[in-house]
Structure 1
Amino acid sequence: MVESVNPATGETVESYEDHTEEEALDALDAAVDTFEEWRETTFAHRQSLLENAADVLRERQDEYAELMTREMGKPIEQARAEIEKCAWVCEYYAETAESHLAEEQLSVGPTDSAVVRYEPLGPVLAVMPWNFPFWQVFRFAAPNLAAGNVGLLKHSSNSPGSGQAIEEVFREAGFPEGAFQNLFVGSEVASTLIADDRLRAVTLTGSVGAGQAVAEQAGANLKKTVLELGGSDPFVVLDDAPVEETAAKAAHARLQNGGQSCIAAKRFIVHTDVYDEFVDAFVEEMDSWTVGDPLEEETQVGPQADAELMEELHDQVQRTLDEGAEALLGGEPLDREGAYYPPTVLTNVPRDAAAACEETFGPVAAVFEVESEDEAAELANDSEFGLGASVWTGDPAGRGRAFAKRFEAGCCFVNEYVKSDPRVPFGGVKDSGYGRELSKAGIREFVNRKTLWVNHDLTEGSE
């Protein structure tokens, strides 16, 4: 059985029976059968069903938002926003899939023609995490269903109900039964699916270790993969940045979703000329966020997703403090029921300390003081991760854009915190993974880029 546990109360939300290996393979059978028909459907038909899915999400927004809040502790207002974003990505690909996948004409000479076609691959396995239990799945599912692929979902054990609900969304929207299927399976059964010749690709959002394991399995079976892994995003504050406004954005960048986001700002790198002013404003902003019951409307920071994750986060904080850092705010689990960790600000962080080198997946900010842009860029890139990065300045078009080019990351923002958006590619470099999701780049990841060449000059009997 898979149990969904409310991290705010410790109570069991629901229990779900695991699928057996035989049932998972039956689901793959159904996916293969459905694909043969689904791949031949028109873009107009797929567009209509994606628009239906957006309608279902909005009609049941409160229900789905409460489900994810109970499963992983997301504040209810943020949960509703996540459902709305899922509806948006469905509508985005309903509007753009056909143009993103249109044949491309190539110039190959006066007597020949060539085009590149973008054709679906088949069944794709998605291994998805708990922190954005609807959005992570929809940003995979919407483009792939629009492209003519079919999907199998292995969701996190923290959010099994969300996986089941997402399958229901697509069924209610009118997608055929085998187009998108949720599986309650563990890693062993997932490995069996990856090894099966009928599964054509795998995408994973998760830890570096999980990504390495899936990439190894998929590589051994010559399967295409897209990996979105961890992040330790730098938030660089230059000496001309508007401090008060930047500090407010910094708190949001760190605390959104309880700090449990791969693209949350985690390392705050601040020029010495504005360091003291920024730290004062940042601590005040972080302290102003309301921690509480995630089902209450005023709550901005809920519990961590489970007690074990909170303990891991606290261990990172303790090791960082032991290595010489100072906690200006927070630094201890809250004395209340549930897995609550408060907004925490660490300063004087040694550059080899845990909070500097590891991904802190919770509301903990490590602040560093630098004396130049060059030092800021060097520290920003001194990480095994390369998912997102942001720079803050009074000259965004000039100085900010020039600095952003120096980041070793996939998603680089100037005077804005890092976020995913259906209209732009999303993904990282280094240990943050490879491949891209969203936009035209995302829908083209799991397709056959087929070259079709025609010689128009060859006549029968010619030599």
Structure 2
Amino acid sequence: MANTLKSGTSWSDAWQRCLAVAPEAFRDDRVLNLWGGEWRADGRALSATSPVDGGPIAGPPRLDAVAAHRAVRASLDQHRAWRHTPLEERKARVSAALDAMTEHRELLALLLVWEIGKPWRLATADVDRAIDGVRWYVEHIDRMMAGRVPLAGPVSNIASWNYPMSVLVHAVLVQALAGNAVIAKTPTDGGVSCLTLACALAAREGVPVTLVSGSGGQLSEALVRAPEIGCVSFVGGRDTGAAVATAVADLGKRHILEQEGLNAWGIWNFSDWERLTAVIPKLFDYGKQRCTAYPRFVVQRDAFDDFLAAYLPAVRTLRVGHPLAVEGPEDPYPALDFGPLINAAKAKELTDQVAEAVDRGAVPLHRGRLDEALLLSGQDTSAYVPPVTLLGPPSSSPLHHAEPFGPVDTIVLVDTEAELLAAMNASNGALVATLSTDDEATFARLAPQIRAFKVGHGVPRSRGDRDELFGGFGASWRGAFVGGELLVRAVTDGPDSSGGVGGERLPGNFPEYQLMP
């Protein structure tokens, strides 16, 4: 029996629901930009396709540099009024926005499925993490704002496409709760409709949100360098992040710059292989298109046979398919580990990198295959890449030193602790790392030498929620650390000025100011 699309989940179904829920933000076949408190049909709407099946979806309405500067100036006007709004009123408005998002939770998640290819379980988790996380800040914001005031200008947000709700919308609402007007740039590769709906629901409640689309070349001058901007929050790759870092350093702007790093999992004097087998499938959530994914395993050579015996059976269980393909239209959503990558271009790039690495000497230990039973008959699968595992990527390959941002694992064998540390630190700083070793003393000795912000002992680490801090090490992060009270401190001013960035010494990774936590 051929699979069919789950009832009521087509892109057309989702789009019609958007038109009904937020007609001010969606018009005919396009989304609008939001600035100056108004939804505007400006910008050149680009065509876009869904990674799920290659079909057409709404693309971003890209502004030019002149319009972007007008949007920033309008946001400053909103900021000047909002920063004097009493905290109780800000809490009420943000809470009302969260209530609206809760009401439309399933539609927000469905948009994530079509726009960025998330399986239903992960799409709903992204929405829920955003809502639940901001509710926690509403509950605790009074103590966090004690003695603090909003920044002098709005907060500018530039984020990657992979977590539109739990990263971008979460940050925007917390920044607004702290008294700032906020500007968000829609990611180039996906998520524009989900973000448009979320911002429409927030704007209705009087939260001062600006949402604009455009290329980095056109918008960066306004969103990063404009004098009206009080803080820049960036999540993305190192190349773009380096340019942003240079700009904010020159201008002395408050900043939070999260950048990629090659997160590594080390294996040294380890024997609990059943535990490792159990965790491997979880590491492939969303096809490793996460800043805290683990694409590199650094394995003690003497343990390589045991590692493979634990790793390969686990990776062979992974389910990759169409996120909405079911046997019967009323069946529950399919249980998948991941669906497509963000687009066909990324899939081709990654496939080409794998082929090149093998040509230059890497050994393919595992090559997954797409299962027709998890797809729709005849569907476009150009954005789908089944899991691949390579042993010994050559030093000339990007897979040796950079994050693949896809379902490709690389394994490096080492003989000494010095080699272990060197291989785990290949990217000069990472967000997370893990070391699996039986001996507590060995972990305590080696973990401080691993250049990652969070290091787990046999368990994966993540961004965390609420009070848990998050940051990076070395080139994976620039600026203020965030999480709990530090997220609020990053976008407010306080009395403890000591001449650092923004007039205040903030905990974080500020190499240009020699400021460390």
Q: Settle same-fold status: TM greater than 0.5.
A: yes
Mark the CA change 1:37 to 1:247 in structure 2 (over 3 Å): closer, same or farther. same
Matched, 1:237 2:292: no
Distance (whole Å) between structure 1 residues aligned to residue 398 and residue 453 of structure 2: 23
Amino acid in structure 2 at the alignment position of 1:132: Y
Secondary structure at the aligned position of 1:24 is classed as helix
Paired letter, 2:166: W
Which residue in 1 is equivalent to 2:358?
A: 321
Instruction: Establish whether residue 66 from structure 1 lines up as the match of residue 98 from structure 2.
Output: no
Per-residue deviation, 1:78: 0.6
Partner Cα separation in structure 2 for residue 291 and residue 60 of structure 1: 27
Aligned position for 1:46: 90
Q: Is the 8 A contact 1:4 1:15 kept in 2?
A: yes
1:12 to 56, 63, 71: 56
Corresponding residue for 2:13? none
For 1:24, which of 68, 86, 107 is the aligned residue? Answer: 68
Q: Is the 8 A contact 1:4 1:157 kept in 2?
A: no
- 2 CA distance for matches of 1:275 and 1:49? 55
Q: How many residues align?
A: 435
2:300 corresponds in structure 1 to 271
416-425 or 350-359, larger mean C-alpha shift: 350-359
1:212/1:82 Cα in 2 relative to 1: closer, same or farther (>3 Å)? same
How far has the Cα of 1:16 moved from its partner?
4.4
- Rounded to whole Å, the distance in 2 between the matches of 1:274 and 1:118 is 55
Q: Identity of aligned pairs, percent?
A: 24
- The whole-number CA distance in structure 1 between the counterparts of 2:101 and 2:454 is 28
How far apart, in 2, do the equivalents of 1:449 and 1:411 lie?
27
Q: Letter of the aligned partner of 2:297 in structure 1?
A: F
Please say which of residues 53-62 and 285-294 is displaced more in the overlay.
53-62
Kindly report which structure 2 residues correspond to 1:375-414, keeping only aligned pairs within 5 A, or say none. 375-395=419-439, 398-414=441-457
Equivalent runs, 1:148-297 vs 2, <5 Å: 148-159=179-190, 160-172=192-204, 174-176=205-207, 179-187=208-216, 188-253=218-283, 255-296=284-325, 297=334
- Deviation digits for residues 102-152 of structure 1, max 9, x if unmatched? 23xxxxxxxxxxxxx454332111111111122220342133112211111
Q: Report how far residue 273 of structure 1 moved.
A: 4.1
Once the two structures are TM-superposed, the CA of residue 353 in structure 1 deviates from its matched residue by: 4.0
Q: 2-side partners of 1:142 and 1:304: how far apart?
A: 28
Deviations 1:34-58 (A, max 9, x none): 2222212333333333333333333
Q: Provide the rounded CA distance (Å) in 2 between the counterparts of 1:99 and 1:51.
A: 17
Correspondence 1:126 to 2:157:
yes
For 1:309, the equivalent position in structure 2 comes to: 346
The one-letter amino acid paired with 2:448 is: K
- AA aligned opposite 1:299: L
The CA distance in 2 between the partners of 1:133 and 1:332, in whole Å, is 29
Match of 1:111 in 2: none
Q: Distance in 2 between matches of 1:295 and 1:427?
A: 35
Asked if the contact 1:228–1:428 (Cα under 8 Å) also holds between the matched residues in 2, the reply is yes
Alignment partners' CA distance in 2, 1:66 and 1:17: 21
Q: TM-score, normalised by structure 2?
A: 0.78
2:125 partner letter: A
1: CA distance, partners of 2:142 / 2:417: 44
Which residue number corresponds to residue 449 of structure 1? 494
Task: Tell me the distance in 2 between the aligned counterparts of 1:272 and 1:169.
Answer: 54
- Residues 319 and 102 (structure 1 numbering): CA distance in 2 closer, same or farther, change over 3 Å? same
User: For residues 279 and 175 of structure 2, what CA distance do their matches in structure 1 show?
Assistant: 33
Which string of whole-angstrom CA distances, capped at 9 and with x for unpartnered residues, describes residues 379-398 of structure 1? 211323422111223456x5
1:401–1:414 Cα contact (<8 Å) kept: no
| C-alpha distance in 2 between matches for 1:247 and 1:24 | 49
- Measured after TM superposition, the shift of residue 329 of structure 1 is 1.3
Q: Which residue of 2 aligns with 1:300?
A: 337
- 1:347 to 1:248, Cα distance in 2 relative to 1, 3 A: farther
Structure-2 separation of matches of 1:324 and 1:375? 20
> In structure 2, what residue type is equivalent to 1:191?
E
2:458 equivalent to 1:415 = yes
Structure 1 residues 405 and 300, CA gap change in structure 2 (3 angstroms) = same
SS in 1 for 2:47: strand
Is the partner of 1:405 in helix, strand or coil? helix
Deviation at 1:428, TM superposition (A): 1.3
CA distance in 1, matches of 2:336, 2:496: 53
- CA gap of 1:61–1:371, structure 2 versus 1, over 3 A, is same
Give the AA of the match of 2:203.
R
Distance 2:438 2:242 in 1: 40
Unpaired runs of 5+ residues, structure 1, are 104-116, 454-463
Distance (whole Å) between structure 1 residues aligned to residue 396 and residue 463 of structure 2 = 29
**Aligned partner of residue 288 in structure 1, secondary structure:** coil
- 2:508 counterpart residue number: none
State how far apart, in whole Å, the 2-side matches of 1:229 and 1:52 are: 32
* 1:102 correspondence with 2:146: yes
Partner residue, 1:461: none
Answering whether residue 428 of structure 2 is matched by residue 371 of structure 1, we say: no
- Once the two structures are superposed, what CA deviation does each residue of 1:175-229 show, in whole Å capped at 9, x if it has no partner? 33xx111102222133134332212221111111111222233344432222111
Hey, what does 2:176 align to over in structure 1?
145
Q: How far off is 1:10 after superposition?
A: 1.0
- The equivalent of 2:81 in structure 1 is 37
State the secondary structure of the residue aligned to 1:388.
strand
Aligned-pair CA distance for 1:432: 1.2
Question: Relative to structure 2, which stretch is displaced further, 52-61 or 293-302?
Answer: 52-61
C-alpha distance in structure 1 between counterparts of 2:266 and 2:427, whole Å: 14
SS of residue in 1 equivalent to 2:361: coil
Unaligned runs of at least 5 residues, structure 2: 1-44, 326-333, 373-378, 499-517
2:41 maps to: none
